[in-house]
Amino acid sequence: MSRKTSDIWYHFTTANNESAKCKYCSVSYSYKGGSTANLSRHLKRKHIIQYDVRKKICTDKTDNLDLEENIDDPDTVSVHQNISETQNQPSTSSFSTSKITHTSNKTSQSQTRMESFIPRPLSMNKSQKIDEQLGIMIAKEFQPFSVVENIEFRKFVHLLNPNYSIPSRKTVFKSILPQLLEKTKQKVKTNLNNAKYIAFTTDGWTSLNNDSFVAITVHYIDNIECVLKSYLLGCYYFEQAHTAINLSEFMIKCFDEWEISEKIKVAVSDNAANITSAISLNSNWRHMPCLAHGINLIAQSGLSEIQSVHKKVKSIVEFFKRSTKSYIKLKQTQTQMGQPLLKLIQDVATRWNSTYDMFQRCIDIKDPLISTIALIGKNENLTPDDFYIMEHYCSVFKPFKEMTIELSSEKGVSISKVIILCNVLLSHIKKKKNEPNLPSAIYSMLLTMETKAEKRFERIEEQRLLIEATILDPRFKKRGFSNTKSYEFAYQKIIQSITTIIQSESEKHNLSGNEVNAVQENVNEKEQFDIWKDFDLQAPAITTISTPKSKAIIEIDKYLNEPLLDRKSDPLMWWKQMKTVYPNLFQLALLRLCVPSTSVPCERIFSKAGCTISDRRNRLSIKNAELLLFLNNDVIGMHQIHQ
């Protein structure tokens, strides 16, 4: 049988003289009379990619070797030669010559050019983008630099793109990451230019290598987008003594380098004496203690009253954590009782609400836990009285956990919620204390906590930063205060603040408008008519004099008469729409609502630092540790993946 010249036969094999089988899906189609229409329709409908690429299977007539075919990737496919069977045959007639010429022309028209099969090297721009994304992956996913030397990783990347040359480990930390660092710093600086007022949080941390670090995060409301934004300026190695003076100089130097010294207004930190003293050394900074630390101190103060139960539960949890056999038995008991498999939780003194989580988990698996302890023959078991104490404890401390989560968010305004939530928490403690039939230990615990909370929240509605933030939140306004007296005090304070802003803006306007006014006065003198002199002399006597304070009162009263915003709505979006209506209040909102209510942003940085400087990476240099922590928090990936 003569060789078929149609391109279709590179995708089909002949089953018999009337049918052909597809090489990709093994479906047979008829080609009676030599027509390949059925075969062509099948390729275009089911295998369009292979049909468009038109890779040909060629046979070398001399050695009959079959060349390997790869139709999936046109960049990596091997080049096939199509050798005509009649190419070496002599031409004996005009008919045969015409036939050969016709066949050759047909083949050359349908054959893909050789250049299209040669792998094209990546462009410089594309290669740099991949390098950059590799650096982002290493920084954000806590990957070691040596990942680029991992054999399986290199195989994986090669399969994705064989033309990409994976950089060496040295290139990653000496070239790619430093370039990414500079690029990210410039982006952060550009974004900080849109900030009028900035608040910052700071705290210290010691790594497993006993190296001391100080982290500084900044928070502001973008003046244009009206969106709350946060950045890590750095988690810096600090080798000096942690005195107030050294810390203060260090922070000032950091802000000078970022060119934001004049914008810093508020600092949030825990109650560590050296940090609070360092902040107080700068008269332009207002200090606000971390509310989450305060809530935790209130919670810890009452724990000593139920020490016996706490100690017993902790001992039992530690026993199951150490004993694999007992832990397996607990899981089996949960399965037999048809309950979900839940692990016991160990409390940690430095982890907020961990005692609540430990007690609550014991309550959740009460029956399997008691049965397992009895089966394994442990001397100490939990009694109904112990669970009674734990249940009361959890009912008391559930709002503590919810409040900590609510105030620790960096994505929304939290400072305006502080007064409301503190009053709610204090009211909750008092209400629980007055419940009948309380265990004596729980009553003593609540009494201790009430005393601690009253002392800590005693003058909270007199703190200027908090009361102004509460009024400026369109969700709360007057409703954010516990009584009328506190609201009246806050009302007077916010009038003072707005008056100061109006005076400041007026002075700037007057300074810039002096020359214009001078020119205008000269023009008016030339065009002045005598008939207007009497009118101008009488006008000031009957014109109402507008003062900065009166303007402030008018603006704040108009704002307070606006309907309240829904509690779940975003107050910053409201201000974005109304900033031209209340321009002076908007300036004060930028100053107050950007402040985080806790120093949790720094705590989160230290959690990431623990993953970066780990046992596996304990030889990481200080410089590279600082670089990775900054990029991990601030760098933005090249492509956003939609989950």
pLDDT tens digits, 323-369:
999 999 999 999 999 999 999 999 987 788 899 999 999 999 999 99
For residue 32, CA distances in Å to 29, 35, 292 come to 10, 6, 83
pLDDT above 70 (res 551)? yes
Q: Does 489 score more than 60 pLDDT?
A: yes
**SS3 category, 264:** strand
Write the Ramachandran bin of 205: left for phi over 0, alpha for psi from -120 to 50, otherwise beta. beta
- On whether residue 81 sits in a domain, the answer given is no
The highest-confidence range among 44-53, 167-176, 371-380, by mean pLDDT, is 167-176
DSSP lists the bridge partners of residue 238 as none
- pLDDT for the residue 536: 64
pLDDT higher than 50, residue 554: yes
Q: How far is CA 94 from the centre of its chain?
A: 78
Phi, psi of 416 (to 5 degrees): -75, -10
What is the C-alpha separation between 270 and 297, in angstroms, rounded?
11
Same domain, 405 and 332: yes
**In contact, 316 and 309? CB cutoff 8 Å:** no
Please give the pLDDT value at position 355.
Answer: 92
**Among 332, 327, 329, CA closest to 344:** 327
Average pLDDT, the chain: 83
Q: Are 453 and 298 in contact (CB under 8 A)?
A: yes
414/449 same-domain check: yes
Both structure tokens of 13? 């094999």
Crossing angle for the helix pair 583-592 and 464-472, to the nearest 10 degrees? 130
Residue-level pLDDT at 115: 53
Range of the domain at 23: 7-58
Cβ 59 vs Cβ 104: under 8 Å = no
Supply the pLDDT for residue 545: 62
What pLDDT shows up at residue 77? 36
**Integer Cα distance of 298 and 241 in angstroms:** 31
Report, as an integer, the average pLDDT of 268-280: 93
Mean pLDDT of 282-286: 91
What would the mean pLDDT of 89-110 be, rounded to a whole number?
44
For the entire predicted model, the pTM comes to 0.75
Structure tokens at 298: 């209130």
Same domain? For 344 and 437 the reply is yes
Q: What pLDDT shows up at residue 538? A: 63
Q: List the beta strands (DSSP E) in 207-314.
A: 212-221, 228-237, 264-269, 286-289
Q: Is the same domain home to 241 and 335?
A: no
Domain-located, residue 502: no
Which DSSP category does 59 fall into? B
Q: Looking at residue 174, which CATH number applies to its domain?
A: 3.30.420.10
Helix, coil or strand: residue 266: strand
Q: Dihedral, CA atoms, 233, 238, 241, 246, nearest 10 degrees?
A: -30
> What would the pLDDT profile of 24-71 be if each residue is shown by its tens digit?
788 888 887 777 888 888 887 777 666 665 544 333 333 333 333 333
Position of tokens 């207002």?
286
Q: Choose the final residue of a domain: 425, 458, 491.
A: 458
Q: What is the pLDDT of residue 51?
A: 66
Q: What three-state secondary structure class fits 215? A: strand
The residue among 413, 430, 458 that closes a domain is 458
Cα–Cα distance, 498 to 502 (Å, whole number): 6
Identify the band that residue 19 occupies on the pLDDT scale cut at 50, 70 and 90.
confident
> Residue 455 burial by CB count (10 A; 0-12/13-18/19+): exposed, middle or buried?
exposed
Asked whether residue 148 falls in the same domain as residue 282, the answer is yes
The pLDDT score that the predictor gives to residue 522 is: 53
Q: Is residue 520 over pLDDT 50?
A: yes
CB-facing half-sphere around the CA of 102: CA atoms within 13 A: 8
Q: Average of pLDDT values for 628-637?
A: 86
Amino acid residing at 20: A
- The verdict on residue 159 lying in a domain is yes
Domain membership flag for residue 67: no
Residues 258, 134 share a domain: yes
Asked whether residue 136 is domain-assigned, the answer is yes
**If you compute the radius of gyration of the chain from its CA atoms, what whole number of angstroms results?**
38
State what percent of residues in the chain have pLDDT above 90.
59
Tell me the C-alpha distance between 553 and 589, whole Å: 16
Tokens, residue 240: 């000096």
Asked if residue 139 and residue 273 are part of one domain, the reply reads yes
Q: Is the pLDDT of residue 642 over 50?
A: no
What is the model's pLDDT at position 579?
A: 92
- Quote the tokens at residue 409: 């968010």
User: pLDDT tens, 191-213?
Assistant: 999 899 999 999 999 998 899 99
Taking each continuous run of H as one helix and of E as one strand, the counts in the chain are: 25, 8
